[in-house]
């Protein structure tokens, strides 16, 4: 290959070629870098992938006058499915097979004196890194919106990991103690659309959707890995699920201990990580994405309620609405809003599943779970007051951010930068409502008193929540 290049280039008479070749070769390899933590799907520590790289600053002449955020909880020790299905069996097997002398085995030698980072009791709890991530979001938001009034309430679904994320966020965001409350919304299986976990009240949603589809690529990419490891450590009998669990440990151990030997690129190469990531992207496509018929209907009520709050002229409206939930809801809201649609610039609705082939990676996909639902993944909708944005009328404009990257709305691009006008935003919201309204019917709700509308932000019976306070005060008083 290099020889061919050289001869072609010499035909072109490039005298400095040997030097040029060498330096371009070394520049090529020295600029390749790869961080597995940015390809870990739902186990990725929070990061901002700049996807797309448009500027998160307010467009020229615009000031944020309101905003609403929906955030997944921050980093946890391990979710119960990942722990029980992959991690615990691998750890148990590693403990059982104590006769293997790992210290002599290249790239697995760390297993000689490794210790498991997760116990069953810690499953699902927020880690220190998780608390840090959520607190940092609070601080970042205070920098982004210096003019907005502090909200009185922050909402969260009732699980401990979401609740603690909301508390850590409040500690980062409030300046004085005890000005912001956290309101817990019960994760009911009969809430209809009126909760921060509406998928739990949606019988048509199954948490195992996507497993079959993703198992195709999982088997394919783990095959050479199990073969390699079984060659290195005969007697352990590495399986597909062991390899999957080891790769998950890279993410979990990193958010528990700050680093993990499972992330070493000599153990799993960049291509192995990309294959793991794609396997998860296929799973989430069918689970909470465009491949699940019910995603948009479950995501719409939050989007509609929030868009209307932001557009409302009600004097009681808060400047800022922040809510915490689990990994399922933000992606379903993305579908309701048409974000990260692999077919946006071509292809029909019917062809969406073809964009996620089961037997090979579509590297050009927009739907990347590492960007869509890492720990603390957050969606923002902002309302701006713009005056003196050259070429645009003064007035109200709207913008969407995901993990701080602006997301142009496919049908609404008539404002400065990535924003959209108020009238454009109104018709866009109406268009999405027309596509996806009818939560109870589309979910096949089989219980009484369902609702298609999310009203918890304005429902006085939801209450004012509980004061947070600084952490040291909680210690002092307990």
Ligand X SMILES: *[C@@H]1O[C@H](CO)[C@@H](O)[C@H](O)[C@H]1NC(C)=O
241-247 contacts, C-beta under 8 A, 24 or more apart: 241/85, 241/86, 241/89, 241/90, 242/86, 242/89, 242/90, 242/93, 244/86, 244/218, 244/276, 245/82, 245/85, 245/86, 245/87, 245/89, 245/90, 246/90, 247/272, 247/273, 247/276
Nearer to ligand X, 132 or 445 (CB): 445
Q: Give the nearer residue to ligand X in terms of CB position, either 133 or 452.
A: 452
Q: CB-wise, 131 or 399, nearer to ligand X?
A: 399
> Is the link from the previous residue into 52 a cis peptide, with omega within 30 of 0?
yes
Q: State the nearest-atom distance from the C-beta of 149 to ligand X, in Å.
A: 13
Whichever of 324 and 397 has its CB closer to ligand X, that residue is 397
Taking the complex as a whole, the smallest distance from the CB of residue 153 to ligand X amounts, in Å, to 9
The residue among 201 and 338 lying less far from ligand X, judged by its C-beta, is: 338
Contact call for residues 7 and 13 (beta carbons, < 8 A): no
Place of tokens 């080891």: 246
Alpha-carbon span 93 to 359, nearest angstrom: 30
Q: Which is nearer to ligand X, 341 or 389 (CB)?
A: 341
Taking the mean position of all CA atoms in its chain, how far away is CA 318? 26
Closest contact distance (angstroms) between CB of 369 and ligand X is 17
Question: Rounded to the nearest whole angstrom, what is the least distance from the CB of residue 112 to ligand X in the complex?
Answer: 19
Sign of torsion, CA 412 417 421 422? positive
Distance, in Å, from the CA atom of 460 to the CA atom of 478, rounded to the nearest integer, reads: 31
Q: 399 phi and psi, to 5 degrees? A: -145, 155
Token digits for 320? Answer: 């800022």
Tell me the two tokens of residue 180.
């912001």
Closest approach, Cβ 2 to ligand X, in A, equals 43
Q: Least Å distance between CB 166 and ligand X?
A: 18
> In whole angstroms, how close is the CB of 237 to ligand X at the nearest point?
4
**CB of 291 or CB of 374, closer to ligand X:** 291
- Contacts with ligand X by CB under 6 A lie at 65, 89, 92-93, 96, 237, 239, 286, 290-291, 293, 296, 301, 304-305, 308, 335, 338, 341, 343-344, 347-350, 352-353, 385, 387, 433, 437, 448-449, 452-453, 463-464
Nearer to ligand X, 46 or 334 (CB): 334
Residue with tokens 């309701």: 336
Least separation in angstroms between residue 443's CB and ligand X is 13
Instruction: Say how many C-beta atoms besides its own lie within 10 A of residue 70's C-beta.
Output: 23
Alpha helices by DSSP H, 312-453: 329-337, 369-372, 422-436, 439-442
């Amino acid at each position: 290959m290099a020889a061919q290049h050289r001869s072609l280039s010499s035909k072109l008479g490039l005298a400095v070629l040997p030097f040029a070749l060498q330096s371009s070769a070394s520049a090529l390899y020295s600029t390749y870098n790869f961080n597995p933590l940015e390809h870990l799907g739902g186990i990725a520590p929070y990061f901002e992938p700049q996807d797309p790289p448009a500027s998160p600053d307010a467009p020229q002449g615009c000031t944020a006058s309101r905003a609403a955020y929906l955030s997944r909880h921050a980093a946890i020790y391990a979710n119960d499915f990942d722990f029980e299905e992959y991690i615990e069996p691998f750890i148990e097997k590693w403990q059982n097979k104590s006769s293997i002398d790992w210290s002599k085995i290249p790239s697995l030698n760390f297993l000689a004196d490794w210790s498991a980072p997760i116990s069953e009791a810690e499953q699902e709890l927020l880690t220190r890194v998780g608390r840090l991530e959520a607190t940092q979001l609070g601080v970042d938001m205070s920098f982004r919106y210096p003019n907005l009034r502090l909200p009185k309430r922050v909402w969260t679904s009732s699980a401990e990991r979401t609740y603690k994320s909301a508390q850590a966020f409040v500690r980062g965001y409030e300046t004085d103690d005890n000005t912001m409350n956290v309101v817990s919304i019960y994760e009911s299986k009969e809430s209809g659309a009126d909760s921060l976990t509406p998928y739990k009240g949606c019988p048509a949603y199954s948490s195992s959707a996507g497993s079959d589809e993703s198992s195709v690529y999982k088997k394919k990419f783990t095959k050479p890995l199990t073969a390699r490891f079984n060659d290195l450590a005969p007697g352990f009998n590495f399986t597909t699920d062991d390899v999957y669990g080891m790769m998950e440990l890279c993410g979990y151990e990193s958010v528990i201990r700050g680093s993990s030997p499972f992330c070493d690129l000599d153990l799993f190469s960049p291509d192995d990580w990309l294959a793991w990531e794609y396997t998860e992207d296929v799973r989430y496509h069918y689970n909470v994405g465009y491949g699940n018929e019910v995603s948009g209907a479950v995501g719409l009520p939050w989007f509609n309620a929030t868009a209307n709050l932001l557009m409302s002229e009600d004097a009681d409206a808060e400047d800022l609405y922040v809510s915490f939930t689990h990994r399922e809801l933000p992606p379903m809201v993305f579908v309701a809003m048409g974000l990260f649609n692999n077919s946006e610039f071509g292809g029909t609705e019917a062809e969406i599943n073809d964009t996620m082939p089961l037997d090979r990676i579509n590297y050009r996909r927009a739907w990347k779970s590492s960007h869509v639902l890492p720990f603390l993944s957050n969606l923002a909708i902002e309302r701006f007051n713009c005056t003196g944005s050259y070429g645009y009328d003064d007035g109200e404009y709207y913008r969407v951010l995901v993990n701080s990257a602006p997301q142009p709305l496919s049908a609404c691009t008539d404002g400065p930068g990535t924003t959209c006008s108020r009238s454009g935003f109104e018709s866009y919201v109406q268009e999405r409502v027309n596509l996806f309204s009818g939560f109870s019917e589309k979910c096949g709700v089989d219980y009484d008193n369902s609702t298609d509308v999310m009203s918890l932000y304005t429902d006085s019976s939801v209450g004012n929540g509980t004061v947070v306070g600084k952490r040291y005060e909680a210690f002092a008083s307990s």
